[in-house]
Amino acid sequence: MRHRYSVLLFPLHVFFDFVCLNASFAGAYWLKFGDLASIAQPPYQSLWIAFNVVWATIILLTRPYIFPRQLFKAIPLLKKLVYLTALHAAVIAIFWLFVKGVYFSRGQLAYTYILFLLAGGLFRLGGLLFLQEYRARGYNNRRFIVVGYGKLAKTITDFYKVHPEMGFRFQGYFDWPTEENKDALAGSYTDLSKFVRREEIDCVYCCLPYIDNTQLKGIIDQSDLLDFQVKLLVDFRGFLTKGASVEYHDFLPVLNLSSQDLDDFRVAFLKRAFDVAFSLCVLLAGAPIFALVALITRFTSAGPIFYMQERIGHRGKPFMIYKFRSMYVDAEKAGPSLSQGHIDNRITPWGRVMRQTRIDELPQFLNVLFGSMSVVGPRPERQYFIDKITEIAPEYTELLKVKPGITSIGQIRFGYAANVDEMVERLRFDLLYPKRRSLLLDLWIIAHTLRVMAQGRGR
């Protein structure tokens, strides 16, 4: 019989947990009272019985010892132990209140759970190491084949080669033979049933790109008769997002690949509330500064006080961005170009001061109030430069999933970009934001922006 020793894992796990539980109870009693003479007598007799009955009930209800081999690792095992122990402690606390056990020692109970966590944890880690070594040496194996030959098929076989401790042994590829794959195959679809029966195959991986529904249905129909598992292998690499979820339309499962994190209502609501409150405070408290900057801008160079330019915002929607004018009028009459910092003759002397202290960005708090921008977010760019950037770094489109901001990680770590290559370099910093955005991160970026403004290190 295949895997005749695997059926022992469950009862052994149960047995050793009961040993650990009772040994911990007795050890805690000895630590608290210095002897074991009366542990089996009232009142602790009833508590000891309750400990075992409650643990047995939890095991029957939760079935906690069933782990697939891919998840049979230290962290899941220890997390499950902590969960079970907490659940046990909660039920025992209810039992304590029910029997009005004022004569029970809280210290003894605390020692019991501490000892049990230590003993149970050591047992699990020891058992895990033993099983991994046992399986790596070729025992307690699962034999598998892959149906559908291609790059994805090689990925799963390479995975199990790297992880021999899981105990999966590859037996061959199956597909319709062609000139390219015939030397790599163990057989065709017509050979599959005989091979599975003869080699006692446990698991058949079916690669969806290389197998059609008719062939897949035939394999599934045979699985009950020949006693093997069928696992569907689909290549979602490159577009499977962290927020993917399964939706059921009646009995039809639909995989939703949209990013749930970026559409999370709570995050969006809190961020918008913070943006509005912070912008109103800045505009009201900074009104005298705004007026002074506007006057200096007006009288230091000819032209309007404010500068408006079309930028690309959230989900690719264009909007007009507001800034205090820092360049001479018609600075871009020869076409779109980026600022060259201190050597850029298009920037006015006062504009250079504004750029170093970032005060030219202050009118963008109006953009925040209107909803086209956020206080913190990746800097918005013109479509002309977005086209240039995406030719080099297509991942720029990730930034369009969030609202652009007045300040960003890229602004404080890198600053203004003088060419497309520098914009791509700044992109490395801004790409950190969409996946990690939070109120605390926004406050951290704002604090560092204020430091850059105070030190006049903007460029």
Domain residue extents for the chain: 6-136, 142-235, 265-455
- Per-residue pLDDT of 108-154, as tens digits, reads 899 999 999 999 999 999 988 888 888 888 888 889 999 988 888 88
Q: State how beta strands 318-324 and 306-312 pair.
A: antiparallel
Residue 215 vs residue 117, higher pLDDT? 117
**Local confidence band at 243 (pLDDT 50, 70, 90 cut-offs):** low
Q: Has residue 268 got a pLDDT over 70?
A: yes
* Integer CA distances (angstroms), 80 to 64, 74, 84, 117, in order: 7, 10, 6, 11
- How far apart CA 124 and CA 21 sit, in angstroms, is 14
- How far apart CA 362 and CA 282 sit, in angstroms, is 9
Q: pLDDT value at position 437? A: 80
Within the chain, how many helices (H) and strands (E) appear?
A: 16, 11
Residue 84 phi/psi, 5° resolution? -65, -40
Mean pLDDT within 94-109:
81
Q: Has residue 342 got a pLDDT over 60?
A: no
Least confidently predicted of 57-71, 140-154, 438-452 = 57-71
Mean pLDDT within 277-283:
92
Q: Is-cis flag, bond preceding 43, omega within 30? A: yes
Mean pLDDT within 398-410:
89
> Which H or E run contains 109?
helix 106-136
Q: Has residue 245 got a pLDDT over 80?
A: no
Domain 142-235 CATH assignment equals 3.40.50.720 = yes
Q: pLDDT value at position 51? A: 92
Those residues whose C-beta lies under 8 Å from the C-beta of residue 411, and which sit 6 or more positions away, are 379, 426, 449
Least confidently predicted of 82-91, 233-242, 328-337 = 233-242
Question: 204: which strand partners?
Answer: 145, 230
Q: Has residue 162 got a pLDDT over 50?
A: yes
Q: pLDDT value at position 155? A: 86
Residue 339 vs residue 427, higher pLDDT? 427
Token pair recorded at residue 165? 């401790």
Q: Terminal CA-to-CA distance of the chain, rounded, Å?
A: 73
Residue 373 vs residue 98, higher pLDDT? 373
**Local confidence band at 1 (pLDDT 50, 70, 90 cut-offs):** very low
For 135-165, b/e burial (b = at least 16 CB within 10 A) is beeeeeebbbbbbbbbebbeebbeebeeebb
Residues 450 and 357 sit within 8 Å (Cβ to Cβ): no
- Residue listed under structure tokens 């990690």: 436
Q: Has residue 75 got a pLDDT over 90?
A: no
Q: pLDDT value at position 82? A: 93
> Between the ranges 113-122, 208-217, 299-308, where is the mean pLDDT highest?
113-122
> Which H or E run contains 407?
strand 405-407
Q: pLDDT value at position 459? A: 53
Residues 449 and 458 sit within 8 Å (Cβ to Cβ): no
Q: Has residue 261 got a pLDDT over 60?
A: no
CA angle 291, 296, 299 (to 5 degrees): 125
Q: Has residue 291 got a pLDDT over 80?
A: yes
Q: Has residue 458 got a pLDDT over 60?
A: no
Query: How many residues are given for the chain?
Result: 459
Q: What's the whole-number average pLDDT of the chain?
A: 84
**Local confidence band at 454 (pLDDT 50, 70, 90 cut-offs):** confident
Q: Has residue 239 got a pLDDT over 70?
A: no
Q: pLDDT value at position 293? A: 92
Q: pLDDT value at position 310? A: 92
Give alpha helix (H) positions in 173-250. 192-199, 213-226
Mean pLDDT within 366-384:
92
Q: pLDDT value at position 373? A: 94
- How far apart CA 97 and CA 115 sit, in angstroms, is 23
Q: Has residue 69 got a pLDDT over 80?
A: no
- Residue listed under structure tokens 């690499």: 237
Question: 405: which strand partners?
Answer: 374
Q: Has residue 263 got a pLDDT over 80?
A: no
